[in-house]
Amino acid sequence: MFGVIRNLSDGLAKTRKNFTDKIGSLIRGEKIDEAFLDELEEALVASDVGMGTASFVLKDLKERFKRNELSSPTQVKERLRQILFEILSAPSSVFSLAAAPAVVLVVGVNGTGKTTTIGKLAYRLRAEGKKVMLAAGDTFRAAASEQLSIWGERAGIPVIKHKEGADPGAVVFDAVSAAKARAVDALIVDTAGRLHTKSNLMEELKKVHRILSRELPGAPHETLLVLDGSTGQNALAQARIFHEAVGITGIVLTKLDGTSKGGIVFAIYKELSIPVKFVGVGEAIEDLRSFDPREFVDALL
Ligand code: GDP
């Protein structure tokens, strides 16, 4: 458990530095006034929490300041911690795979870390004692199913795949039958991620989604969108498009270890109301963490 906490904290080092360098230096001052609060707002925006979140936080702080409830920088920091936690407390970030087989559909733009995330998630579920299977639904790139097979071999997990250019719908159809026949606990489905602005990709994803729910009522049980945490506000635009097409149940925010833009987590909750379920804090197979709002806020402040 200690290892997990230390790892998240390590992974968030750059974002924390951005937060604490800017916000911390303001808060260490002796007194607070309107100008202090304005500077705090700028610091929040610079940390990529988004304009909406920054003004929401500041409105709360200013009202409390006027009511004389905040008289010291320490009190501001405590209220900030509380309000950031409140932003992340709904909707719930619990990742639930109660059904068997439970299907996890994974979508996202190429390069965000989708394949790596699938490998990490498969490894993690298997370590929990689950029987896992992968479906190589990105038939557009031959490299995608090869990469998935490598992750599968590494974790000792079967991969259902067809040849390049095959119909992704046929892959998921076969994968669901195989998952049922082999009494698999969790089937993780990879999908194509070529340019999200191309509507034919969204049509393809909708079709995959439709086939899954037709072949297995209730499926997909989770639809995870993988977003590259270092792309900041741009990630929000991607999320809107995928959410409209297939209904995202959770976000996996990758590459938090390499960025100072981790404040994007708050923008995701505030502006999209989609929970973050996992964060990626490195390239290794163990570097996927369940998202815990309290742990995240504590690691930041
Ligand atoms: P895909 O095209 O979306 O399937 O992306 P890949 O899974 O191939 O990942 C793209 C690159 O991002 C690879 O070099 C991965 O090692 C790297 N990557 C993925 N997740 C993380 C992460 O959490 N942290 C870091 N530092 N790199 C990551």
Q: Mean pLDDT, consecutive 10-residue segments, the chain of 301 residues?
A: 57 82 74 84 86 93 92 88 95 92 97 95 94 96 91 91 94 98 97 76 96 97 96 91 96 91 92 95 92 92 82
| Distance from Cα 109 to the centre of ligand 1, integer Å | 11
Please name the residue that has the structure tokens 């010291």: 72
Tell me what pLDDT residue 69 has. 92
Q: Which residues contact 206 (CB under 8 A, 6 or more apart)?
A: 245, 246
Distance from the alpha carbon of residue 115 to the mean position of ligand 1, in angstroms:
7
Is the Cβ–Cβ distance between 87 and 273 less than 8 Å? no
Whose Cα sits closest to atom 12 in ligand 1? 113
Q: Which residue has 């509380």 as its token pair?
A: 82
Under a CB-based contact definition with an 8 Å cutoff, are residues 204 and 107 in contact?
A: no
- Which residues form ligand 1's pocket by a CB distance below 6 Å? 108, 110-116, 193, 254-255, 257-258, 280-283, 287
Q: What is the rounded CA–CA span in Å between residue 265 and residue 259?
A: 12
- pTM attached to this predicted model: 0.93
**CA gap 28, 211 in Å, rounded:** 56
Q: Which atom of ligand 1 is nearest to the CA of 226?
A: 3
Task: Identify the H or E element spanning 176.
Answer: helix 168-181
* Closest residue CA from atom 16 of ligand 1: 283
Which of 283, 286, 287 most suits a substitution to test ligand 1, by most atoms within 8 Å of the C-beta? 283
Residues 288, 125 contacting (CB under 8 angstroms): no
Packing angle of the helix pair 142-155, 114-127 (nearest 10 deg) = 20
